[in-house]
Amino acid sequence: SLEATGQMVSFSIVGPFTLRRARDHKYFLDTHMSGKMFQMGYDGEVAWTASGFFGDDAAQRVRGADLVMLVRETDFATPFFDYKEQGYEVKLVGEKEFEGQKGIAIEVKRKDGQSETWYLNPKSYLEIGRESPGSDFGRPMPLRTFYDDFRVVGGVKIPFLVESQWYTRERIFHVGEVKLNVETDEAQFKIPPPPGMGPYLSMAGDWAV
C-alpha cells in the first residue's frame, strides 16, 4: 500500500489531497475542487466519484471516457511492473523527444484496446512523461502527463511532482509526504452507499418476492 499527501492545483485553486493506493488496482483520492469536496475511488471492479461540484454529494459510478482515464491511474506502480500478468502489450518505439527532452518511447496497449506512450529518461529509465487517452467531464480528449522531482522513499523512487494537461484543463500534484505499507480500510475503496441507506446495507442481495 501507499499513501501520498500534499497540495493539488485544480481550476487554479490550491487545496490539500490524500491519495491511497493498494495492490489489485485499488485507488482512493480525497481532495477539493473549486472549494468543493471531491472523492474518487476504485475497488478493482467499480469506479466511482463523489463531489459537491455539481451540488450532489451522493457517489456516482464512473463510466465512459472518465472510466478509461481513472482505471489508467490505478496501477500500483507503473504499467511496466508485471505487465504480462496484467495482460498489457508493451512495444519499444525508440528514441523520441518529449517536450524538448530526449526520451525512450514505449507504447503500452491496455486490455481495453487503448494505447498510450510513455517516455523514459535514457540514463535513469525513470518516466518523464506520458501521452494517453483522457477525458474532460466525459468528453474524450488527449492527456499529457509530466513526472519530476523523484525522491527515494523506502528504497523506491517516487515522483513528487505530477502534472496533467488536457484541453484547457491542468492538474498538478505537489506531493509533500509518502508513506509505504500503511494500513488500509478496504471499505474506503468501495463506492459509498446513498445518503441515509447505511442502516439498510445488511439487506443487500438478490431477492425473490
Q: Could you list the mean pLDDT of each consecutive 10-residue stretch along the chain, which spans 209 residues?
A: 95 92 94 85 94 74 90 89 92 95 96 93 96 88 95 95 88 96 92 80 79
Closest C-alpha among 123, 127, 122 to residue 108: 127
- Find out whether 119 and 105 touch, Cβ atoms under 8 Å: yes
User: Any idea what DSSP says for residue 111?
Assistant: T
pLDDT at position 55:
63
Hey, which bits of 13-168 come out as E strands? 13-22, 26-33, 36-42, 47-51, 56-61, 89-98, 101-109, 115-120, 127-136, 139-153, 156-166
